[in-house]
Amino acid sequence: MNKAIEYYEELISNGIEADSVTYLILIDGFGKQKDTKKALKFYNKMISCNKQPTTKIFSSLINSCIKEDKIEQAEEIVKAMKSFNIQPDIRLYNTLIHNSIIKFDMKAANQFYNEIIRFGIKPDIYTFAMMIDGYLKVGDQESAQKIYSYMMNNGININSTVINILMQLYFEKNDSKMVHNIFKQYYSNPSFYNNGISPDIKSWTIFLKSRLRLTKDIEEAYDIYKEFLIQIDKNDDLNFQLLPDRHIFNHFLTIFAHNYGNMTLSQEVYGEMIRRNILPDVVTHTILIEGYALLGQVEKANRQFQIMKSNNIKPNVFTYTSLIKAWAQVWRIDKIQQVYNEMIKSGIKPHRATYRAIASIKNLKFDISQQQREQKNSSKFLPISRTPQHVKDTIKLNDKLEKVQDSETAYSLFENFLKNFDNTNYLDYNSKPNIYSFTIFMTSFVFHHRNMTFALKVFEEMLKRNIPASCYCYNVLIEGFARSNEPFKAEKMFFTMINNNVKPDISSFNSLISAWAMVGKKDKVFKTYHEMKKFGVNPNEVTFNSMKAVGM
């Protein structure tokens, strides 16, 4: 770039005006070097010289901003572009849509998509693919289906990317039959192969995951695994452009280790990965460690952890949590402390599941050393305490909620959650969402989006489905009203809890006292404090700090 700048300065010193091509070279060059500041500097010089920027210049600037995560600047450049009566082309719109989807901001993505339609720009296959994928990411299956229907009704040719997204759409709707139909319709049709459309590892993975979901026992799951190995070894005969990756092997590992508790088959899959030069990653090792933890096979879990570190694979929070679970099975507080300290020293922040694993042993009321002796010879017979399916599903929802930017998109995610809740025939009680799932949404709306209207709607929908509210549910709402400076609503929720025979705890009282303290209602603070004593709840430092705030 130094030579390009020298050339530019030489032009200026000789009284020659730089043209738009020169500015494009400089702006694009700095953009590729992720130096948006210098790219914008030459853009401003161009404007000051009354030179008309081109679509390519704007595209380069926007791409540069997005690469450096300078989203607000990118949006300002889009506005500047329109002020010059230059309309973004489909490639630039695709970039903007893609960036919005990465942020889980489907509201912005939809605005860009509507602009494309309004300005008469023809969406390409990637526009549709990204929109379907984006809606699936936030759980809006209905909108994803509408985009697909639009494509079909308008005769838009689809490619393997769209086919895979469609398979994912029906997989998330628990419609395995449609997944199989789509796979056979598009990937068993010779005309598609002639047009260069053939299944890749992603399509094959979704197809297999769909089949595995329907398995009734481990033998059936193992048959699918063996069939998979045969097919990838004969992919020339089957026309599969397929290279197996870690993801699909990790999924088989999860099925055998977590669903069926069979670590022998899990190790077989692990060995097959290594034989095929598919290097295990942190997910692979964590699945195995968790599998051993569920069976109470602590030494094997620890050995797998050591193998992982010896291969220079850095453990993550889930790896450490699984190992803590393993040591908790045999009441080794010293080992739990050691693993926890190592995690903190590595700069890894504990997850909620980490604290739950630690709490599971700290709350034991019997003598640990005695229990260890009793357990020593029987640990191999420990029952498998698998994580309930609804918890796994809700953790996925929570991950999405944490990335969603606006409350409307978050609420559409909740509406789709309700549709699945009401229309799915759950195989057993553990598969069905419960209060935990609803509380995740309430917490998100109260603390992340600060939207009490949506939080109350979640609360009402939960009660409609005969799921009684816990003390924690009420506490979330009371705290939400307190933070919104709505103490009377906080008080109303507090007494609703009492009327429903749910006993308030220290958090309930602290939130209500805080709500009254923030609006200077000393008499209400005093009254709530005495109510607390009446319920036998002892005040803590938080209580006294709120009371001090109003001069008590």
Banded pLDDT at 87 (limits 50, 70, 90) = confident
Query: 457-499 pLDDT, tens per residue?
Result: 999 999 988 888 888 899 999 999 998 999 999 999 999 999 8
Of the two residues 188 and 443, the one the predictor is more confident about is 443
Q: What is the C-alpha to C-alpha distance for residues 359 and 355, in angstroms, rounded to an integer?
A: 6
Amino acid at 544: F
Q: Reply yes or no on whether the pLDDT at 235 is more than 80.
A: no
Q: Residue 433: its pLDDT value, please?
A: 66
Q: Are 240 and 232 in contact (CB under 8 A)?
A: yes
Give the distance from CA 305 to its chain's centroid: 25
Q: Is 366 helix (H, G, I), strand (E, B) or coil?
A: coil
Banded pLDDT at 359 (limits 50, 70, 90) = confident
Strands (E), 156-201: none
Burial level of 381, CB count in 10 A (0-12/13-18/19+)? exposed
Give the mean model confidence (pLDDT) for residues 102-112: 82
Q: Are 140 and 412 in contact (CB under 8 A)?
A: yes
Q: Reply yes or no on whether the pLDDT at 501 is more than 70.
A: yes
Cα–Cα nearest to 335, from 351, 320, 318: 320
Q: Residue 369: its pLDDT value, please?
A: 40
Residue 152: enclosing H or E segment and its boundaries?
Answer: helix 141-153
Q: Is 215 helix (H, G, I), strand (E, B) or coil?
A: coil
Q: Percent of the chain beyond pLDDT 70?
A: 85
What separation in angstroms does the CA of 403 have from each of 102, 140, 515?
9, 15, 29
Q: What is the C-alpha to C-alpha distance for residues 48 and 220, in angstroms, rounded to an integer?
A: 70
Report which DSSP code applies to 242. -
Query: What sign has the CA pseudo-torsion 439, 444, 447, 453?
Result: negative
The tokens for 208 are 């297999």
Q: Reply yes or no on whether the pLDDT at 209 is more than 80.
A: yes
Provide the CATH topology of domain 389-549: 1.25.40
SS3 sequence, 487-549?
HHHHHHHHHHHHHCCCCCCHHHHHHHHHHHHHCCCHHHHHHHHHHHHHCCCCCCHHHHHHHHH
Report which DSSP code applies to 446. I
Q: How many other CB atoms are there within 10 angstroms of residue 298's CB atom?
A: 21
Residue 152 neighbours by CB under 8 Å, 6+ apart: none
Q: Residue 432: its pLDDT value, please?
A: 63
Query: 270-316 pLDDT, tens per residue?
Result: 998 888 888 889 999 999 999 998 888 888 999 999 999 998 999 99
Query: 510-525 pLDDT, tens per residue?
Result: 999 999 988 888 889 8
What separation in angstroms does the CA of 354 have from each of 174, 297, 473?
30, 19, 22
Q: Are 254 and 287 in contact (CB under 8 A)?
A: yes
Give the mean model confidence (pLDDT) for residues 30-49: 82
Which sequence spans correspond to the domains of the chain?
A: 1-86, 89-156, 245-386, 389-549
Q: Residue 147: its pLDDT value, please?
A: 84
CATH assignment, 245-386 = 1.25.40.10
Q: Are 350 and 317 in contact (CB under 8 A)?
A: yes
Give the mean model confidence (pLDDT) for residues 528-551: 85
The tokens for 473 are 């549910």
Q: Reply yes or no on whether the pLDDT at 66 is more than 70.
A: yes
Q: Reply yes or no on whether the pLDDT at 366 is more than 60.
A: no
**DSSP 3-state percent helix, strand, coil across the chain (nearest 5):** 75, 0, 25
The tokens for 10 are 């030489």
Cα–Cα nearest to 199, from 233, 172, 235, 226: 235
